[in-house]
C-alpha cells in the first residue's frame, strides 16, 4: 500500500469518526420535508432545547444544505407576532449564480395586456 493511499484511508476513517451522529438520523427524517421548525427537530432528536443543542443542530443542518428561516407558518396557530425559527431547503442551488441579476423579459409598453386592444 502506498503512502498516499494510506493517508487517504486515514482521512476517511477520521472523517467517519468525527461525523455527527445526529446527521444520519436527520437525513432519514428529512428526506421529503421542505421546511421544519427547530423545535420539531429537537423533539425528533429527543434533546433539550438549549443554546448548545441549537448551535449543534445549526451546524448539522447547514452541512446538509438547509438554510435558516423565521416563519409564522411553522408554528401551529401562529398569528402576527408569533414567529418561530426553522430550516428550509433552498429554492436554488447554492452554486447556481448564473441567474442572479439576469433580466427575465423586456417590458414593451405598446404590447396589449389583459385583453386590451389598441
Distances (CA, A) of 97 to 62, 93, 101: 19, 8, 9
- What's the sign of the alpha-carbon dihedral 21, 23, 24, 28? positive
27 vs 39: CA distance, rounded Å: 17
What mean pLDDT value characterizes the chain?
A: 79
Residue (of 82, 59, 83, 52) closest to 69 by Cα position = 83
Tell me, what's the pLDDT at 52? 94
Whether the CB-CB separation of 67 and 35 falls below 8 Å is answered with: no
pTM of the model: 0.61
Does residue 16 or residue 107 have the better pLDDT? Answer: 16
pLDDT tens-digit series, residues 103-116? 555 556 666 655 55
Cell numbers for 105? 423579459
Percent of the chain with pLDDT over 90: 21
Cα 39 from chain centre:
15
22 vs 25: CA distance, rounded Å: 5
pLDDT tens-digit series, residues 22-55? 988 898 889 888 888 898 999 999 999 999 999 9
Domain spans in the chain, listed from the N-terminal domain onward:
21-88
Amino acid at each position: 500500500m502506498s503512502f498516499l493511499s494510506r493517508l487517504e484511508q486515514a482521512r476517511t476513517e477520521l472523517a467517519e469518526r468525527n461525523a455527527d451522529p445526529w446527521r444520519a438520523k436527520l437525513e432519514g427524517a428529512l428526506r421529503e420535508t421542505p421546511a421544519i421548525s427547530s423545535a420539531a427537530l429537537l423533539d425528533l432528536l429527543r434533546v433539550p432545547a438549549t443554546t448548545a443543542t441549537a448551535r449543534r443542530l445549526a451546524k448539522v443542518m447547514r452541512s446538509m444544505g438547509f438554510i435558516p428561516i423565521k416563519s409564522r407558518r411553522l408554528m401551529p396557530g401562529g398569528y402576527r407576532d408569533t414567529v418561530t425559527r426553522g430550516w428550509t431547503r433552498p429554492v436554488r442551488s447554492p452554486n447556481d449564480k448564473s441567474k442572479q441579476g439576469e433580466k427575465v423579459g423586456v417590458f414593451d409598453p405598446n404590447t396589449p395586456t389583459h385583453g386590451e386592444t389598441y
